[in-house]
Structure 1
Amino acid sequence: MTRENVLALLSGVLFGAGLAISGMIDPARVRAFLDVTGNWDPTLGFVMGGALLPMAVAWQVAKRLRKPLVSNDFHLPSTSDVDWRLISGAAIFGIGWGLAGICPGPGIAALAVQPMSALLFVLAMAAGMRLHSFIFSARSLSRA
């Protein structure tokens, strides 16, 4: 296993542990955060806000580095225009998050803590990703 893979694995384990410890793998807590007119639970907002400080520091450190510590190049996201795929994907994500109370990161982290309840979500997520890949690869082939 390469240094990069070990660091990625450790980062993922740390992220998953943070989600589990903070209670963010509990769908009821997430739905309570989204229920702003009912029994609102601001906990998730504090978790998100708490992530801003280390991320701001990381961006400042990255700006000063010539190259990453464990890779040859930075792999930063490119800027893209807002289009129908972005809007529809965000809408589907938001609706699913609101209904299920769980999103990909916490869903995968929940596999370690409550595997049976998380497994259905993760399988459905994988099926949706595969369906998306199939639809858009078929579209690109038909245009060629």
Structure 2
Amino acid sequence: MRLLSGYIVGLVFGLGIAISGMINPAKVLNFFDLFGTWDPSLVFVMGGALVTTFIGYRIVWRRPVPMLEGAFQLPTNTKLDARLIGGSAVFGLGWGIAGFCPGAALPALGTGQAGVFAFVAALLAGIRAARAVLARQG
């Protein structure tokens, strides 16, 4: 059941990303180009996501435990540190340069475009490099 629900959630997410245009890096980059070819349509995508999340969390938090897990898995770190801020900055810069975020790049693999595969390869290499650096820091 967990596998099936994960598949369905991933399918709905991927379809939403595709329909909204977030798998098109040009559309995303135009959203960030405030003084050029600004395309404000992604504001509605993000607004819809915020509304859905707001309502969804209120429904989910009423349950004592998740439907397919024994407990909610919540982050315990609540401090703003250099690792969080640096990671956020790298994420934002990568999104602004490439026009992809990881969540949109994975469904975009279905387009077969070489640029998407290059982005995902770079993403995986970056994850591996970050893990290696963190492992050395102990």
Asked if Structure 1 and Structure 2 have the same fold, meaning a TM-score greater than 0.5 normalized by the shorter chain, the answer is yes
| 1:41 partner amino acid | D
Describe how 1:1-144 pairs up with structure 2 within 5 A. Answer: 3-140=1-138
Give the CA deviation at 1:115. Answer: 4.1
What is the Cα-based RMSD across aligned positions, in Å?
1.2
Give the CA deviation at 1:104. Answer: 0.2
Give the CA deviation at 1:77. Answer: 2.9
SS at match of 2:61: helix
Deviations 1:87-140 (A, max 9, x none): 111111111111101110111110012342311000000000000001101110
SS at match of 2:80: coil
Give the CA deviation at 1:62. Answer: 1.6
TM-score normalized with structure 1 length: 0.90
Percent identical among aligned pairs is: 41
Measured in 1, the distance between the counterparts of 2:87 and 2:34 equals 23
Deviations 1:6-34 (A, max 9, x none): 21121111101111111111001001100
Q: Structure 2 regions of 5+ residues with no counterpart?
A: none
Measured in 1, the distance between the counterparts of 2:108 and 2:34 equals 25
Measured in 1, the distance between the counterparts of 2:75 and 2:2 equals 19
| 1:134 partner amino acid | A
- Tell me how many residue pairs correspond in the alignment: 138
TM-score normalized with structure 2 length: 0.94
Measured in 2, the distance between the counterparts of 1:115 and 1:98 equals 19
Deviations 1:62-102 (A, max 9, x none): 22111111211111233421111111111111111111011
Range with greater deviation from structure 2 (81-90 or 123-132)? 81-90
